Structure 1
């Protein structure tokens, strides 16, 4: 990890003459000040897909984590849950009874108190809806309000509820009475919130570049003493070059994603800080097992072998690390020895066996990937060229995330793609979500974009939570076996790399750290503006 630190406007001015031509665009005149106190976050994808904190399961997490609180929050240094809404907690010796004590005086943005009854109502609604990541609460059998600040959870089986309660989705505590007698889901979808976090929704303009504006909630339990950003603006800028120019002009505070070339330029630019850290996020190349040419396992294995895994990691210049299996290093379930390699001779042989390949019938495949993601585009461009040499035409289309996801979830199989490229990260610091969400049978389709339906795989996935709590050694074995089955035997996925986060932000933003359990989230209240 390397940071390029420039503290304060004076340092920016002093270094502006020695950081290259680009640095001259940054000056005291256009750097945001503590008085302006608006943190401008640039994302390359649409921000909001779903406003309901019970079912939200997409990019809006970057905003939601600034609007809503959970009971606990994952600490990457200790690798344990830390206090958030809950000040403390305890568990029974068998791990099946958990008691959380809440901090007092917390209120929702609606003005109602956040107490044990509100926690119970919130989690029970999320469980009842069963959408998004609601599965995290499956171990919970009963929730009991012991007193206004104490809530007890009784579980069906032992589970790490303190860690589960820190999840980046479905763990949000919200005011279930916010809509009164109206439909709460419809109330949320109008762009409203009912959280208790430091910021609340000021405006939402779906489809616009300046999509979302949050403003400070003055009654936030964490307080506003000292310098803080009073507003957060989320802007959708798919073009990384333009995002970088906005940063250099001081019109953006933080760029969520740059390509490797721009990141290396940022590291040498006065007035810009950079941060490079490992992540729990990896790229998945998902193959359509239910319809189209890739229903033939030989063709799936051929595409797997056509990917230049080592070449892509090298080309990404520090923005990626080789993947071994589906689970990134640092999480229970990581399986060394499952790194994939390119094998063009093997790919050609498999294609020939299926009647395609060099000298055989031409094969045509469709692929979708995220618009504005240069790394995915590079992968697709290289794969397209490689497959063309094997007599395979790859029709690739870059799409806004919401459009790509809608196509993947189409009820008509003929409208779906053959290959779906996307990033995945866990719902809390545990590997379970890769398997349950991406590879477990699901109707209707959500993220199971391989469309795999396999009872044996489902059964093995279903036993993972209890194994992880009772017998970590058995859980390690189960995770490794599943990964070999999905990658090598069934060939439903390829994993080209694990992402290494490369962030760039203005030199007068202080206090930023990256928490891998909350991918792409900036906890803005923790930052100090102005330098």
Structure 2
């Protein structure tokens, strides 16, 4: 469900959700819920910290769920058409050679600061994001220059052909914001105090880092999309690591939406009066990243042994519909997805034991000790940790599996001292826009300092092949498919830098009086609250 994509799209998607598409049925309305009308508050529960970085130029983590309600991009990905649709820009066109793109903005838009959303502001936003060069700023690498042709017209000149309309719909680094918000002060520091300079339907009302009620947004009265009819006027983001607590809050009507539940709780939700449920495939998968640079797993034989020890089928059984088997790094629905028979892995304990023995470990050899970090409060990751720890224990491998809040886990992974880093880092990944490039560019391309390349892999051949992907994508789709297939084979097979146990199926639960919700896989876990209809 997206904001004003094309005529009729919102209504169609809302109708699909209400009709039970993907399990989105509601069983009665006997539960209490939030007030309706102009005082309604939408309460969003997630199990990890909401905000890591407040700067829209560098933001690249969980705050996506809030930022997409505060900031907007030129375009938005439409999952029905699988193309970019209008957002701040109402139309655009490209030159025949794909190297010049011209966007026309909607008239009369304003930032939360009161200044106009015009061509100069678009140019300034993207140029600042590019200059800082952090997070997902790489999405603009094809851009040679930006010109504000007039108040509402922005022209992008490219170094090579690229789908800028799709790039401009990215979930990170595509935000348009008021670069003058801090006046003569430091804009980056201004943002990090919990301030915003967006143009979206909601603006920051309060932020309490580390608190359960971490973030509250309030309606921006001058939003260009308008407030006619029923809308939620407030959005509250709460952090509840325990999923049973989240479920109880939903049952009591103290929460509107739970981002995730255990499979057991989700099945219970499907049969509970006054609760809607929705299960949909996603572009998000789980990555088990191996430390290729230091510690025991610098030995590729040990990395391959851990890959083989993962009980892929047992995990999928335990997830009870919350995940499907992965056949590579790229989920289905995206260019680069591998569909070859036999690509989906299965547990091979005999093969793991043989590799461990070759390296001097394993049954009858010296014990091997590994550290693994994963997300606190994520029951699916807990299933992986438990099954893998048990499987490796039978092979004389002791795993110190540590559940951590995301910020602490990420800080450890990025530590400049290799001795502080983990051997195995478990995290989810999803694309920055509806293309597979971000897996390769961010997670497996060498980079200093470390950000998300938490395998610490440094391979010049792989780097050069990743660097060539954007041009291939724009000029030779067949060659791009082959490049993606090769890279996945190299990273999972030859280098054994990663294992991919599953692709997520989103399982949502929300109050029956929340109408119009559905998932857009290009914006994982985002609820576009302005599009929802609160009812009695």
- The TM-score with structure 1 as length reference comes to 0.96
Query: For residue 458 of structure 1, what is the aligned residue in structure 2?
Result: 463
Q: What's the offset of the Cα at 1:6?
A: 3.0
Query: For residue 454 of structure 2, what is the aligned residue in structure 1?
Result: 449
Query: For residue 416 of structure 2, what is the aligned residue in structure 1?
Result: 411
| SS of residue in 1 equivalent to 2:206 | strand
| SS of residue in 2 equivalent to 1:12 | coil
Matched, 1:292 2:305: no
Q: Distance in 2 between matches of 1:221 and 1:154?
A: 28
Matched, 1:304 2:321: no
Query: For residue 179 of structure 1, what is the aligned residue in structure 2?
Result: 182
Q: Distance in 1 between matches of 2:38 and 2:254?
A: 15
Please say if residues 4 and 272 of structure 1, whose CA atoms lie closer than 8 Å, have aligned partners that are also in contact: no
Query: For residue 332 of structure 2, what is the aligned residue in structure 1?
Result: 329
Q: What's the offset of the Cα at 1:32?
A: 3.7
Q: What's the offset of the Cα at 1:448?
A: 0.2
Q: What's the offset of the Cα at 1:3?
A: 2.5
| SS of residue in 1 equivalent to 2:534 | coil
Which string of whole-angstrom CA distances, capped at 9 and with x for unpartnered residues, describes residues 454-477 of structure 1?
110000000001101101000000
Query: For residue 341 of structure 1, what is the aligned residue in structure 2?
Result: 346
Q: What's the offset of the Cα at 1:434?
A: 0.1
Q: What's the offset of the Cα at 1:31?
A: 4.4
Q: Distance in 1 between matches of 2:349 and 2:415?
A: 32
| SS of residue in 2 equivalent to 1:303 | helix
**Cα separation, partners in 2 of 1:515 and 1:4, compared to 1, 3 Å:** closer
Please say if residues 266 and 272 of structure 1, whose CA atoms lie closer than 8 Å, have aligned partners that are also in contact: yes
Query: For residue 26 of structure 2, what is the aligned residue in structure 1?
Result: 6
Query: For residue 20 of structure 1, what is the aligned residue in structure 2?
Result: none
| SS of residue in 2 equivalent to 1:227 | coil
Query: For residue 391 of structure 2, what is the aligned residue in structure 1?
Result: 386
Which string of whole-angstrom CA distances, capped at 9 and with x for unpartnered residues, describes residues 335-390 of structure 1?
12321111100000000000000011000000000000000001100110000000
- The TM-score with structure 2 as length reference comes to 0.95
Please say if residues 303 and 347 of structure 1, whose CA atoms lie closer than 8 Å, have aligned partners that are also in contact: yes
Q: What's the offset of the Cα at 1:36?
A: 3.6
**Cα separation, partners in 2 of 1:4 and 1:523, compared to 1, 3 Å:** closer
Query: For residue 6 of structure 2, what is the aligned residue in structure 1?
Result: none
Q: How does 1:349-428 map to 2 (within 5 A)?
A: 349-428=354-433
Q: Distance in 1 between matches of 2:290 and 2:156?
A: 40
Query: For residue 17 of structure 1, what is the aligned residue in structure 2?
Result: none
Q: How does 1:109-124 map to 2 (within 5 A)?
A: 109-124=112-127
Q: Distance in 2 between matches of 1:91 and 1:31?
A: 46
| SS of residue in 2 equivalent to 1:342 | coil
Q: What's the offset of the Cα at 1:315?
A: 1.2
Runs of 4+ in 1 over 3 A off after TM superposition: none
Matched, 1:277 2:277: no
Q: Distance in 2 between matches of 1:276 and 1:142?
A: 42
Q: Distance in 2 between matches of 1:448 and 1:374?
A: 24
Q: How does 1:41-190 map to 2 (within 5 A)?
A: 41-190=44-193
Q: Distance in 1 between matches of 2:157 and 2:38?
A: 48
Q: Distance in 2 between matches of 1:334 and 1:94?
A: 27
Consecutive unaligned residues in structure 2, runs of 5 or more? 1-20
Q: Distance in 2 between matches of 1:507 and 1:207?
A: 30
Equivalent residue in structure 2 for 1:243, among 215, 239, 246: 246
Matched, 1:517 2:522: yes
Q: Distance in 2 between matches of 1:285 and 1:32?
A: 43
Q: Distance in 1 between matches of 2:242 and 2:128?
A: 39
Count, aligned residues? 514
Please say if residues 202 and 217 of structure 2, whose CA atoms lie closer than 8 Å, have aligned partners that are also in contact: yes
Please say if residues 89 and 105 of structure 2, whose CA atoms lie closer than 8 Å, have aligned partners that are also in contact: yes
Q: What's the offset of the Cα at 1:35?
A: 4.8
Which string of whole-angstrom CA distances, capped at 9 and with x for unpartnered residues, describes residues 267-309 of structure 1?
0001000000000000000000000000000000000000011
Q: Distance in 1 between matches of 2:24 and 2:226?
A: 30
| SS of residue in 2 equivalent to 1:39 | strand
Q: What's the offset of the Cα at 1:310?
A: 1.2
**Cα separation, partners in 2 of 1:169 and 1:297, compared to 1, 3 Å:** same
| SS of residue in 2 equivalent to 1:196 | coil
Q: Distance in 2 between matches of 1:169 and 1:486?
A: 25
Consecutive unaligned residues in structure 1, runs of 5 or more? 14-25
**Cα separation, partners in 2 of 1:262 and 1:184, compared to 1, 3 Å:** same
Equivalent residue in structure 2 for 1:500, among 502, 505, 509: 505
Equivalent residue in structure 2 for 1:530, among 520, 531, 535: 535
Please say if residues 50 and 189 of structure 1, whose CA atoms lie closer than 8 Å, have aligned partners that are also in contact: yes
Query: For residue 431 of structure 1, what is the aligned residue in structure 2?
Result: 436
**Cα separation, partners in 2 of 1:200 and 1:341, compared to 1, 3 Å:** same
Q: What's the offset of the Cα at 1:69?
A: 0.6
Alpha-carbon RMSD across the aligned residues, in angstroms, is 0.9
Query: For residue 16 of structure 1, what is the aligned residue in structure 2?
Result: none
